[in-house]
A and B are shown apart, each in its own frame.
Chain A
Amino acid sequence: MTEQIDQALEREYEAGFVSDIESETFAPGLDEDVIRRISAMKSEPDWMLEWRLKAFKTWQQMEEPEWAHVDYQKIDFQAISYYSAPKSMADKPKSLDEVDPELLATYEKLGIPLLEQQMLAGVAVDAVFDSVSVVTTFREKLWEAGVIFCPISEAVQEYPELVKKYLGSVVPQRDNYFAALNCAVFTDGSFVYIPKGTRCPMELSTYFRINEQNTGQFERTLIIADEGSHVSYLEGCTAPQRDENQLHAAVVELVALDDAEIKYSTVQNWYPGDENGKGGIYNFVTKRAVCHTNAKVSWTQVETGSAVTWKYPSCILRGDNSIGEFYSVALTRGMQQADTGTKMIHMGKNTRSTIISKGISAGRSNNSYRGLVRMGPRADGARNFTQCDSLLIGDQCGAHTFPYVETKNPTAIVEHEATTSKVSDDQMFLCQQRGLDAEKAVSMIVNGFCKEVFKELPMEFAVEAGKLLEISLEGSVG
C-alpha cells in the first residue's frame, strides 16, 4: 500500500518551465554599492536609500538563525544576484498592449491570464516577475473606489507619506536575519491601501514568478486597511525547475486599523526540488499583521512547494477585541522540509485567536508546526484555540509539533488540541472497493483532512488549492 501511495505522490512540477526573456541582471554579489544601484534602478528618493543602507548595516551584524527544524547548505549571499528585470520593462510599458507578449504568455501558461477580459471576474492581479512588477490589472476600477493597488516601487514615488509611516512598522528592520536582508535589497511587491469605511470591490492578488537563474527574490508587500475597511488578498508563487537552490526572502506587513478586516491567502507552489532534494527554493519569509481595536486579520495558507520553508504569518493583537486567525495546509513530499506556523501576540483585552494547522508529510519529508501564543499582562479575557493535525503518508516521513504558550494574564484562556494520523490501509481499501483508484483515493482523503482550511479560502482559490493538492499528489499508479 505504501508503495502505491508513493507512486501516487510522484508527479511533474508543472510550473517548472523557463521563459526565454532577455533580462537585465546584476552580477552576483552584495555590498552597499549593489543597494545603491537597486535604489537607483527604481529612482528612489533619498529617504528610501537611507532606510535600505541602515538595514544593510543591521543585517551585517546579525547571524543566520539556526533554531528551525530544517537542514540546508549555508547560503552564500555573495553568489546571488539581487536584481533582475526583463529588458522590455526598462521603458515602463503604459498598458497591457505594450507588455512583452512572452511575459503575458508566461502568466497565461501558469493559468493567470493578465488580459482583463480573460480574467476571473472580480480579481485584480499584480504580476511580479523576478525583481519587478510587470502588470497590475483593474487599477482604474479600483481607483474609482478609492483603493490603491500598485507595485510598491511605485508607491514609494506616489504615496511616500503612507510608505514612510507604515514600512517597517509591523516588521522592524532588525526583526530577524532574513527580514533585515529584505529591507536592504527588496525590489518589488504590492502596495495596497483601502480607505476608511471602504469594502474593496474585488479580490486583490499578486502572482510572484522567479525566472532568472541565480537570483534571489526579495519582495515586499504592504497592505493598509484604514478604519472600518475590508479587503481580501491572495498571493501565488512559482519558479522554474533548476538544480541550484534559490532564495526567496519576502516580508509582508499588514496594518488593520480600527474595525478593519484583512483576509490574506497564500497558495505557495515554489519549485520544491527533485525527489533527491536537489534544487528548489528556500522560502524564508516574514509575514506579520498588526490589529487595532476590533480589527480582524485572517491568514490562510496552502503551502505545497519550496525545498525549505521557514514561515510564520503572525498577528499582533494590539487593540481590544481584535481577532487573529491562522489556517494552514502544509504538504511536504520528496525531501521537502517545512517549519511553519504562527505567532498570536495578545496585547489588548478580549482579543481572540484561532489557529488551525494541517500538516501532511509524505516521502522522506519533514513537516513541523511551530507556534507561539502569548497572552500579555493587559490581555484580560483573551482566548486562543489551537488545533494542530498531522497526517502521515508512508513510513519514512516526519511530523513535528513545537507549540509555545506564554501567559502573563490569569484570565486568559488557551486551548490546544493536536492529533497525528495516517492514511490507513482500511481507508484506502474502502475507496478502492468502491471503484476509486489509489491516486484518487489519496487525494480525496488528503483533501478531506484539509477541508477546514480550504473552506477559509476565497471560492475561486479554494478550487485552485484543491486542484493544486491533487496535482501535488498526482502520478502514475502501476
Chain B
Amino acid sequence: MSMLSIKNLHASVEDKTILNGLDLDIKPGEVHAIMGPNGAGKSTLGYVVSGREGYNVEQGTAVLDGVELLELDAEERARAGLFLAFQYPVEIPGVSNMEFMKASVDAQREARGEAALSSRDFLTMAKEACSKVQLPLAFLKRGVNEGFSGGEKKRNEIMQMLLLEPKLCILDESDSGLDIDALQVVADGVNSLRSDDRSFIVITHYQRLLDYIKPDFVHVLSEGKIIKTGGAELAHELEAQGYAWLTGDSAENTAETSA
C-alpha cells in the first residue's frame, strides 16, 4: 500500500500547463527528494496536491493513504494528514502562533473525532516543539511569522509540522535562505519525525539539504513530469553536472525559463 500515489497528473495555472502527466509513488516511511530546474513545476506539485485555489487539475489522481485528495477542499486534505511547509511563509498579524497552532491541531483532532486538547496540555507540547526547532519560547506568543527572519519562519514551519504530526510532509525549499546552523535545525526536526508510518517529499534546489535529510529516492522534475529517478547519489551527480544533460537544454536556456 502506498502512502501517496500520484498517477498521470496534469495541472495548469491560468491556462498554462505546469504539470504534464506526473507519476509518483511513495511508500510509508520513505523520503523522496524532488529536484529540477526553475520553472519545472516543483512548487506547483506541492500546491496542486494540497489544494491551493487557482491550480486546476485537468486529469489524474492523487491518493493519500487510501483517500482521493483531488476532490477535497484544502482543509480536508490537511485533516487527512497532508502538510505543506511553505517556501515563503506568510504573516498573520495579531494572531499568536500559539492560538493559530492550537486552532489547527484542534481542527484536525475534531476531524478525527478526538476531543480538543486542554490549553495546558497543548502548551506543554508547543513548548517542546519550540525548543526542538531552537526558537525562544517567546515565539509562541508572537504573531504568526510576524517580523520573523527568513530562517525563523522556516523553523516555525517545522514547529507546526511537529505539532500536527502529519502522514505526509511536503517541504517546499525549506532550505532556501538558511545558514548551516538553521539548516541543521530544520533537518533535525524532520529527522525526528521520520518513522515507518510517515513519508516526506523534499523539494530542493541543492544537494546540501540531502546531506542532512537522507532521501530514499531522488527524482528530477522537468517540464511537468519526472524525467529521472535514482537514489541519493543522483543528487550528487546533479550538483556536479546541472540539469542540462537530462533535459537536453543548454545551461543558459534552462536559466531563461526560470519562473
Contacts of B53 in A (CB 8 A): 1, 425, 429
Cβ-based interface call for B208 (8 A): no
CA of A426 to CA of B84, assembled, Å: 13
Q: Are A435 and B75 in contact (CB under 8 A)?
A: yes
Q: Are B104 and A435 in contact (CB under 8 A)?
A: yes
CA of A256 to CA of B144, assembled, Å: 40
Known: A436-B104, A436-B107, A440-B103. A430 touches B90 (CB 8 A): yes
Among B91, B92, B95, B107, the residue within 8 A (CB) of A435 is: B107
Q: Are A448 and B74 in contact (CB under 8 A)?
A: no
Q: Are B104 and A426 in contact (CB under 8 A)?
A: no
CB distance from B44 to the nearest CB of A (A): 14
Cβ-based interface call for A432 (8 A): yes
Contacts of A433 in B (CB 8 A): 50-52, 74-75, 78, 83-84
Return the CB mask of A433-453 against B: 1 if under 8 Å, else 0: 111111010001101111110
Q: Which B48-66 residues have C-beta < 8 A from chain A?
A: 50-54
Q: Which B68-102 residues have C-beta < 8 A from chain A?
A: 73-75, 78-79, 83-84, 86, 89-95, 99-101
Among A425, A438, A444, the residue within 8 A (CB) of B92 is: A444
Among B74, B103, B144, the residue within 8 A (CB) of A429 is: B74
Contacts of A431 in B (CB 8 A): 92, 100, 104
Contacts of B51 in A (CB 8 A): 432-433
Interface size range of chain A in the complex? 20 to 34
Known: A440-B103, A440-B107. A434 touches B94 (CB 8 A): no
Contacts of B101 in A (CB 8 A): 434
Tell me which of A424, A430, A445, A447 has the highest count of chain B C-beta atoms within 10 A of its own C-beta. A430
Contacts of A437 in B (CB 8 A): 73, 75, 107
Q: Are B79 and A435 in contact (CB under 8 A)?
A: yes
Cβ-based interface call for A420 (8 A): no
Cβ-based interface call for B183 (8 A): no
CB distance from A415 to the nearest CB of B (A): 20
Return the CB mask of A59-81 against B: 1 if under 8 Å, else 0: 00000000000000000000000
Q: Are A449 and B93 in contact (CB under 8 A)?
A: yes
Cβ-based interface call for B29 (8 A): no
Q: Are A430 and B92 in contact (CB under 8 A)?
A: yes
Contacts of B52 in A (CB 8 A): 429, 433
Cβ-based interface call for B31 (8 A): no
Cβ-based interface call for B116 (8 A): no
CB distance from A6 to the nearest CB of B (A): 14
Among B78, B93, B143, the residue within 8 A (CB) of A434 is: B78
Cβ-based interface call for A43 (8 A): no
In the complex, how many residues of chain B place their beta carbon closer than 8 angstroms to a beta carbon of chain A?
32
Cβ-based interface call for B19 (8 A): no
Q: Which residue of A lies closest to B103 (CB)?
A: A436
CB distance from A290 to the nearest CB of B (A): 33
Q: Are A435 and B78 in contact (CB under 8 A)?
A: yes
Contacts of A445 in B (CB 8 A): 92, 95
Cβ-based interface call for A427 (8 A): yes
Contacts of B103 in A (CB 8 A): 436, 440, 444
Cβ-based interface call for B207 (8 A): no
Contacts of B54 in A (CB 8 A): 425
Q: Which residue of B lies closest to A358 (CB)?
A: B94
CA of A430 to CA of B86, assembled, Å: 8
Main secondary structure of the interface of A (DSSP, over half): helix
Return the CB mask of B182-203 against A: 1 if under 8 Å, else 0: 0000000000000000000000
Cβ-based interface call for B222 (8 A): no
Q: How many A-B residue pairs have CB under 8 A?
A: 77
Contacts of B100 in A (CB 8 A): 431, 434, 444
Q: Which residue of B lies closest to A455 (CB)?
A: B94
Cβ-based interface call for B164 (8 A): yes
Q: Are A435 and B50 in contact (CB under 8 A)?
A: no
Contacts of A451 in B (CB 8 A): 94-95
Contacts of B90 in A (CB 8 A): 424, 426-427, 430
Q: Which residue of B lies closest to A478 (CB)?
A: B73
CA of A317 to CA of B89, assembled, Å: 45
Q: Which residue of A lies closest to B146 (CB)?
A: A448
CB distance from A43 to the nearest CB of B (A): 51
CA of A433 to CA of B94, assembled, Å: 19
Q: Are A430 and B75 in contact (CB under 8 A)?
A: no
Cβ-based interface call for B160 (8 A): yes
Q: Are B93 and A432 in contact (CB under 8 A)?
A: no
Q: Which residue of A lies closest to B160 (CB)?
A: A434
Q: Which residue of B lies closest to A438 (CB)?
A: B75
Cβ-based interface call for B174 (8 A): no
CA of A435 to CA of B91, assembled, Å: 17
CB distance from A445 to the nearest CB of B (A): 6
Contacts of A447 in B (CB 8 A): 94-95
Q: Are B95 and A434 in contact (CB under 8 A)?
A: no
CB distance from A470 to the nearest CB of B (A): 12
CA of A447 to CA of B99, assembled, Å: 11
CB distance from A447 to the nearest CB of B (A): 7
Q: Are A449 and B94 in contact (CB under 8 A)?
A: yes
Cβ-based interface call for B204 (8 A): no
Contacts of B79 in A (CB 8 A): 435
Q: Which A15-52 residues have C-beta < 8 A from chain B?
A: none
Cβ-based interface call for B111 (8 A): yes
Q: Are B108 and A435 in contact (CB under 8 A)?
A: yes
Q: Which residue of B lies closest to A444 (CB)?
A: B95
Contacts of A448 in B (CB 8 A): 92-95, 143
Tell me which of B54, B74, B78, B83 has the highest count of chain A C-beta atoms within 10 A of its own C-beta. B74
Contacts of A1 in B (CB 8 A): 53
Contacts of A427 in B (CB 8 A): 90-92
New A-B contacts (10) at CB < 8 Å, excluding given A430-B86, A435-B104: A427-B91, A429-B52, A429-B53, A429-B74, A432-B75, A433-B51, A433-B52, A435-B75, A435-B108, A447-B94
Hey, which bits of chain A sit against chain B, CB under 8 A? 1, 424-427, 429-438, 440, 444-445, 447-452
Can you name 10 A-B residue pairings with CB atoms under 8 Å? Answer: A430-B86, A431-B100, A432-B51, A432-B74, A435-B75, A435-B107, A435-B111, A437-B75, A447-B95, A448-B93
Hey, which bits of chain B sit against chain A, CB under 8 A? 50-54, 73-75, 78-79, 83-84, 86, 89-95, 99-101, 103-104, 107-108, 111, 143-144, 160, 164
Q: 8 tightest CB-CB pairs across the interface, nearest first?
A: A448-B94, A448-B95, A434-B104, A451-B94, A432-B74, A426-B90, A435-B78, A435-B107
